[in-house]
Amino acid sequence: MLSLRGVGYRYAGYSTPVLHDIDLTLADGEIVGLVGANESGKSTLCLVTCGLAPGSIGGALTGGGLVIDGEPMAGKPLHEFSTRVGIGFQNPITQLSGVTGSVFEEVALGPMNLGLTQRDTVERTKEALATLGIEHLAEREPRRISGGQGQLVVIASLLAMRPPHLVLDEPTAQLDPEGTRLVGEALRGLAANGTALLVAEHKTDLLDGLCRRVIVLEEGRIVLDGPAGAVLEDERLIDWGVDLPARVRLARATAAAGIDPTMVSV
C-alpha cells in the first residue's frame, strides 16, 4: 500500500507549487486511473508518487509526505524507492538503458539487477515479452525499433520486475488499439498478483473497465476521486479537459436521439 497525504510539490527554481494538497492511496492489487488536461500535473504526480520528485530531480514537497507499506519515505535514499515503486515515463524511449544489444537483454536487465537467478531472469523475460506480444523483437537492437515497440519494451521491462507498486505515465500514448489492449491485459494480470498501479492516461476507454478508481486532476488539485464507473460518467469531465469513454458518449448520443439504449451495443 502506498499513500500520499496532503502533499504539495514545487519544482526546483520555482516558488509556486504545481501540486496542492494531494491525498492518494494505492491499495495492493488496485488499479487507479489518473486523468486531467495537459499541464494539470499528472506527470508531476507520477514523479512524486515514485519518489523521483523531489528525491532525484530536486524541488521540494510543500506539505505532507509519501508512505509506503506503513513506512514514511522522507529522507530515504533513492534505491529504497526503486525496489518498491516502478515507473514508466511519458516518453519511454528515454528510459531504454542504452547499454544492451538486444530487446531480450533490455527486458532481462531489471530482473538481473534484482539479483534473480539466470533461470528466473530468463523465465520472467520470456513471459513479459509474450504477455505483450513482442517475442519477435527479442533479438532486435533496442535503438532500432519504433516508438510504439519501444513503449512495449519498456513496459515489458517493468512487468519482468514485478514491482509491488507501479506508476505508469501514459503507457499507451504511442500504441495502436491492439498494443493498448495487450497493455491493459498485462496490467490486469499484474494487479491480480497484488501490484498496486497508478495509470495516468488520456485514453479513458482504456481506464474504463480496467480501473477500480479514477482521480481527476485540475491545476494540480484533485477535483474528483471515486469509483471508475461514476467518475468516467461525470458531466464535468469535458470542462476538465478529459474525453468521455466511447461507452458514455454513445449512451448520451442515443439518449439525445431518443433511441432505446437496449437496442444498442458497443
Ligand X SMILES: Nc1ncnc2c1ncn2[C@@H]1O[C@H](COP(=O)(O)OP(=O)(O)OP(=O)(O)O)[C@@H](O)[C@H]1O
Alpha helices in the chain (DSSP H): 42-49, 52-55, 78-82, 103-113, 118-131, 147-161, 177-192, 204-207, 228-231, 246-256
Minimum Å gap between C-beta 47 and Mg ion is 10
Reduce the DSSP state of residue 253 to 3 states and report it.
helix
Which of Mg ion, ligand X, none does 71 bind, CB closer than 5 to 8 A by kind? none
Which of residues 55 and 164 has its CB atom nearest to ligand X in the complex?
55
Q: Which of residues 84-123 bind Mg ion (CB under 5 A)?
A: 90
- Rounded Cα–Cα distance for residues 224 and 87 (Å): 24
Residue 83: other Cβ atoms inside 10 A: 12
> What DSSP line would sit under 28-54, residue for residue?
TT-EEEEE-STTSSHHHHHHHHTTHHH
177 sits in the region (left: phi over 0; alpha: psi -120 to 50; else beta) called: alpha
Minimum Å gap between C-beta 253 and ligand X is 26
> What DSSP line would sit under 149-171, residue for residue?
HHHHHHHHHHHHH--SEEEEEST
Quick note: the x/- pattern for ligand X over 3-42, rule CB under 6 A, is --------x--x---x-----------------x-xxxxx
Minimum Å gap between C-beta 259 and ligand X is 34
Which of residues 202 and 249 has its CB atom nearest to ligand X in the complex?
202
Judged by CB under 6 A, the residue of 90, 91, 102, 254 near ligand X is: 90
Minimum Å gap between C-beta 40 and Mg ion is 9
Judged by CB under 5 A, the residue of 9, 24, 35, 43 near Mg ion is: 43
Where do contacts with Mg ion occur on this chain (CB under 5 A)?
42-43, 90
Per CB under 6 A, residues contacting ligand X are 11, 14, 18, 36, 38-44, 90
